[in-house]
Chains A and B, each alone.
Chain A
Amino acid sequence: MAPSSGRRAPSAAELEERNTIGINKETVTNTTSDAYPNNYANEEHAWDKEDFRRTFKVQFHQNDQFEAQFSLIGVDASIANAFRRIMIAEIPSLSIETVFVNNNTSVIQDEVLAHRLGLIPFTGGKKGLRDFMGFWRKPGPEEDAYATTFDTNTVSLKLAAKCTRNKDAPKDSRDPKVLYDNAHIYARDIVFEPLGGQAKWFSGEDTIRPVNPDILIAKMRPGQEIDIEMHMHKGFGWDHAKYSPVATASYRLMPRITILRPILGADAEKFASCFTPGVIGLEKVTRQEAKTKGSGYEGHEGELKAVVKDPMRDTVSREALRHPEFEGKVKLGRRKDHFIFSIESAGQWESDELFIESVKTLKKKCGVLRSQVTNMVQTF
């Protein structure tokens, strides 16, 4: 805004100060969000779309199939937190929901076994999971128990195994896996049984299968038997954690390390060891710097000085603040609007797809809110 309107523009240093959470020896300061109008006198802070478009950035640091790390720069904590919560609780995934135990003589109890089965992450053809599969509805009190169960909302699985003695086992063997057949039951032993139109969507490499085939489900001894059928449904993380498509979805704020006065020589090495390896680098003081008066480097040409190399790797342990020799020489903080997300998928979605889906979900929710607000305005 022009100064004539009585508005003033804050300086860059002032803006950076406002944008930094102070991490001090025993306190954490400046934690509240101030990105809204009338927070600072005579300053324009109304939300502006063009301004947002200019300052908002997404940077990917790592993008593997099931693990992604990226930065959202220039958003408010409420938005970043909304994405995190949506990823955990509001993106659907397919999980075992009902377990029909025909026989289970293993030492693991039916209830515990059912619970364990529910937590196993499964995957399958993406198109089939997203488009073909719908949501199962609990039948009403008058309806048949399976009145709402169709091939479009239920996946059937089977697990049948009987432990027997291995006749060919060597005499001196003691390993139960050698002595007996089916001593260990793994997730890979679960068999998918296509119903109706499912064969078209879930066959070949698209078959419904556990993401990690080596998950141990139960151990058995000769004579014991497990014979189970299972029904899978689609659900949301807010219903049960087993439906959550992420293993972790979290963010942290970008650390900011400011060296206020030069740290030189042996002190610099000690300073570097106060941080995670790679955060602080050691560089030689140049002739140019040694010549500059008032820089603190005078007469130290060729000595090692500490420089901030990669603050993102820091864990902000505050170790540097404990040592008296660094007092007043360093300032620790975090950037208020720089969120480093870390998303680990449980296997049904790709990790970057999860974030896009959370954006889509938030957009959809905003659409609902918009029509409600319009309705409210018209009613009152």
Chain B
Amino acid sequence: MSREAYQIPTSQGNAPGAGTTLSRTFDLEGATMNYICGDCGFKFALRRSDTIRCKECGCRILYKERTKRMVQFEAR
């Protein structure tokens, strides 16, 4: 499949994995997610439709926040 032909799976489409209630609510509301700027370290929220760009300095490299969940490791 070429890059142009690829369709992002949507809730309306018949792509597997899409169409669950969870993803539908996310799509409708455009769930927000926190990002950290790679340049200035500014923390801000972005929606699905927003351009990937820092609101402070315009840097195009953004990082996701680390999970808030506990992660367990063996000390080996």
Contacts and interface: CB of A to CB of B under 8 A. Distances in A.
B75 A118 contact: yes
A242 B75 contact: yes
B73 A98 contact: yes
A115 B74 CA distance: 8
A101 B76 contact: no
Interface residues of A, number: 22
Interface in B45-76: 66, 70-76
B41 interface: yes
B38 to A, nearest CB: 13
A115 B73 CA distance: 9
A111 B74 CA distance: 8
Interface string A102-142: 11110000110011011100000000000000000000000
Contact of A115 (B66, B70, B72, B75): B75
Contacts of A118: 74-76
A110 B76 contact: no
A98 B74 contact: yes
Interface string B27-49: 00000000000000100000000
Nearest to B73: A114
Nearest to A227: B70
A164 to B, nearest CB: 14
Contact of B41 (A102, A119, A223): A223
Contacts of A110: 71, 73
A88 interface: no
Contacts of A99: 72-75
Interface of B: 41, 66, 70-76
Given A99-B72, A110-B73, A118-B75, 16 more contacts: A96-B75, A97-B74, A98-B73, A99-B73, A99-B75, A100-B70, A100-B72, A101-B70, A101-B72, A101-B73, A103-B66, A114-B74, A119-B75, A230-B75, A240-B76, A242-B76
